[in-house]
Amino acid sequence: MKISNRLIFVIILAIAADCTQKTSTTTEQDTAADTAKSYTMADFKSLRKIDTHVHLNTDGKTMINLARANNFRLLNISVDVPDFPPMEEQVAIKAKHYRENPELMAFGTAFTLQGWDEPGWADRVIGQLTKDFEMGANSVKTWKNIGMVAKDKDGNLITLDDPKFDPVFTFIKEQGKVLLSHAGEPKNCWLPLDSMTVNNDRNYFREHPQYHMYLHPEMPSYEEQIEHRNNMLAKNPYLPFVAVHMASLEWSIEEEAKFLDRFPNASLDLAERMSHTQYLTQKDREKVRNFFIKYQDRILYATDFQENKVTVPSELEEHMMEVWLNDWKYFNTSEMVKVPQLDSPVQGLALPKQVIDKIYRLNAERIFPNAWKGAEDSQ
């Protein structure tokens, strides 16, 4: 039976059209499936989230009210900073907010180096921490003054691996609490201003030359700062530990990975190092994205927001919403994100939903168990 050339041509066209339709449908389905793997901007407010690094040092409630409105819980951290209230006052304020808002506000304490050279310093610190833990503190913060500022009676810098800290860190571990540590500074700190990678470092060290180590060559190097922190962790391998500010390794994805591999009980928080991560994303987006996916159980969302007696509520609200929404867009979409710390936009990572759930909530709930009383248990 003969088939005309015209009929053959019609059949070929029909087959081609069918294939084109299937390919188009498949592409649309694939795109929809990829989108479904990530949250969107519309999901921001409805999802429960935790910001694990804020400093609320006043009776004001701007931060609390905005957190509640946007489904955030907060970890309110104490720290031995000269610009902050005395330690006893900081802890009292934080404990008050915790009592009044237990489902929203967890808090951490800290200690000072006052009386370092006197006998019984560690015992006195342990006594203070005992009282703070009884009030509900779930963590203890050390700051960069250890290693960069504080000195003993002989004029030597006090470092984080000093044996005098050992009983304090052992006590924190035995009490089931977490050590948070700001050790060193971003590597930009050892560079001239015009060589720094992000605008926020450039602005901070311009305004705080006492911490700009490029201007102080007599001080320990960046590498020495990191070594002291790592020596301390090597002595305390079972201590629950959060290296805040991306462990001061914000300049290298490879170094962050090495740190997490070496210290399995350590985690990183993102406070004030998002711009550095975004800078690295501009260089190699897939490397950064793969890092977050691989170490999704070891990273905590954090901002370092501050509220004190001179805070202007409207300015704080505007700043918090800008940061929260920019961070959410960066993590959850593949759109271009303009952030003030960089001179050019960065493409978002479009991380999978399960990664976002861990970074924004589940990791914090695991590391700080029962920290937010009355909050619905995560499943």
**Segment 323-357, tens digit of pLDDT:** 999 999 999 999 999 999 999 999 999 999 999 99
Pairing of strands 336-337, 346-347: antiparallel
Give the chain's radius of gyration (CA, Å): 25
How many Å apart are CA 255 and CA 273, to the nearest integer?
A: 15
Comparing C-alpha atoms, which of 352, 311, 368, 301 is closest to residue 70?
Answer: 301
Residue 379 clears pLDDT 50, i.e. is over it: no
Tell whether 59 is covered by a domain: yes
Q: Which two tokens stand for residue 324?
A: 């929260």
The tens digit of pLDDT for each residue in 159-181 reads: 999 999 999 999 999 999 999 99
**CA–centroid distance for 370 within its chain:** 20
Tell whether 9 is covered by a domain: no
Residue 3 clears pLDDT 60, i.e. is over it: no
C-alpha angle 375/377/379, rounded to 5°?
A: 150
Residue 135 clears pLDDT 80, i.e. is over it: yes
Tell whether 23 is covered by a domain: no
The tens digit of pLDDT for each residue in 88-97 reads: 999 999 999 9
Q: At what angle do helices 253-262 and 285-294 cross, to 10 degrees?
A: 20
DSSP element (H, E) containing 77: strand 72-77
Q: What is the layout of strands, in order, in the sheet containing 139-142?
A: 299-300, 266-269, 241-243, 178-181, 139-142, 105-110, 72-77, 49-56, 305-307
According to the model, what pLDDT value does residue 18 have? 54
Task: Compute the Cα dihedral for 130, 132, 134, 138 and give only its sign.
Answer: negative
Tell whether 31 is covered by a domain: no
If DSSP codes are grouped into helix, strand and coil, which group holds residue 305? strand
Mean pLDDT, residues 45-68: 98
Mean pLDDT, residues 91-112: 98
According to the model, what pLDDT value does residue 22 have? 47
**pLDDT cut 90: percent of the chain above it:** 88
Tell whether 127 is covered by a domain: yes
According to the model, what pLDDT value does residue 106 have? 98
Tell whether 4 is covered by a domain: no
The answer to whether the CB of 80 falls within 8 A of the CB of 143 is yes
261-295 in b/e form (b: 16+ CB < 10 A) is eebebbbbbbbbbbbbbbbbbeeebeebbebbeeb
Task: For residue 169, give its domain range.
Answer: 43-367
Residue 11 clears pLDDT 70, i.e. is over it: no
According to the model, what pLDDT value does residue 82 have? 92
According to the model, what pLDDT value does residue 373 have? 81
pLDDT band at 376 (very low <50, low <70, confident <90, very high): low
The tens digit of pLDDT for each residue in 175-219 reads: 999 999 999 999 999 999 999 999 999 999 999 999 999 999 999
Residue 7 clears pLDDT 80, i.e. is over it: no
What phi and psi values does residue 249 have, to the nearest 5 degrees?
A: -115, 25
Question: Tokens 């090495």 label which residue?
Answer: 258
Question: Tokens 């901007």 label which residue?
Answer: 41
Neighbours of 119 (CB within 10 A): 8
Domain count, the chain: 1
According to the model, what pLDDT value does residue 69 have? 98
- Can you give the CATH number for the domain in which 354 is found? 3.20.20.140
- Report the predicted TM-score, pTM, of the whole model to 2 decimal places: 0.89
Bigger pLDDT: 24 vs 223: 223
Tell whether 5 is covered by a domain: no
Neighbours of 207 (CB within 10 A): 9
Tell whether 335 is covered by a domain: yes
DSSP element (H, E) containing 331: helix 313-332
According to the model, what pLDDT value does residue 128 have? 98
